Amino acid sequence: MTCRPICWGTAWLACALLAACGRSNPQPPPDILKTQREALDKAKATEQVLKEAAERRDSQLESQQK
């Protein structure tokens, strides 16, 4: 009589494990670094714009001082 609950528990555990292992994930995992790469690209573009603006400003200042 004590074997019956143990057998049911073991059978339930085996079914749960098989059901969990049998699932497939059709969607690819999300690209967690995509937003970081995009932010880095935007920051690099902004840095380039600021460098160009500083160069224009410096050249204008130099031409005004002459």
pLDDT tens per residue across span 7-61 = 777 877 777 776 666 566 678 778 889 999 999 999 999 999 999 999 999 999 9
Give this prediction's pTM.
0.50
What is the pLDDT, as a whole number, of residue 8?
76
What is the pLDDT, as a whole number, of residue 6?
72
- List, in order, residues 6 or more apart from 19 with CB less than 8 Å away: none
